Amino acid sequence: MRIILLGSGSYSGTPKPFCGCENCTRARRFPIYRRTRFSLYLGKLKAIVDPSPDLHYHLEHLNEKVEQVLITHPHFDHIAGVPELQIFEKLTFYSHEETLRVVKWLQEAFVGEKRWEHVSLSFGEWKSFGNFNVLHFRTPHKPGDVAGGFVIEIGGKKIGITGDTGPEILKDEKTLESLTDLDLLVVEMTHRESIPGTHLGVEDALRLVELTKPELAVFAHISHNNYPHEILERKVMERGIRGIVGRDFLHLDI
């Protein structure tokens, strides 16, 4: 199954405007270090997970049909690309009803009439849609109370996506159980240190993978103020984790 990490960065992207940190300085000089906002493409589903504000750029390079859209939560960097989907006449959106409310507003304000369907998912419940099954689980992520991640079963494979989550997820036994036996886990690794109720730091992202033991982990949603890419790679390697520190347009075959 082909999966493409379209964007590997967090809410500000790298380089962040007017920032002179090491990562932003390197990214301005060397495109390999640039990070657009997080988004994922699942080839077998023709699905986008989290249409970011950089979606036009992502779709330009992807140049593939999109039929489904899954959204973890309604924060700007995970949903603001919805209007860029206007090039597709027919789409199905999947998320919590509060997130779908924002999707519908964006459609009304910027897109207009389309054959777009909106499928509400309740936290903690598996839903079957013929060729795939999905679990939308809640994550601790301020502000608001509607952030979540996904476990997607398709073609005999299981893919987990944490979405944005605070370190409290490490003590959530029900969610940890849902994230076991995965072929792929896409984990946020936003900052050097975790922020309670908001984002995972490096140590807690690594710990989450050690607890859930996926076949492969990809670390993404990486902030400009995190460690440089090579240091993150070394930290993953030193823990003996089968994992990849994501870059934009990373292609995976699972």
Structural fold of domain 2-253: Metallo-beta-lactamase; Chain A (3.60.15)
Cα–Cα distance for residue pair 78/89, rounded to 1 Å: 21
pLDDT tens digits along 120-130: 999 999 999 99
Q: Is the confidence at residue 207, as pLDDT, over 90?
A: yes
pLDDT tens digits along 43-66: 999 999 999 999 999 999 999 999
Helix (H, G, I), strand (E, B) or coil at 9: strand
Domains of the chain, by residue range, sit at 2-253
Q: Is the confidence at residue 145, as pLDDT, over 90?
A: no
Strand partners, 47: 42, 68
C-beta neighbour count of 135 within 10 angstroms: 21
Helix (H, G, I), strand (E, B) or coil at 160: strand
Residues 155-180 have a mean pLDDT of 98
Report the pLDDT value the prediction gives residue 144, as an integer from 0 to 100.
86
Q: What is the DSSP letter of 110?
A: I
Q: Which two tokens stand for residue 177?
A: 């159980």
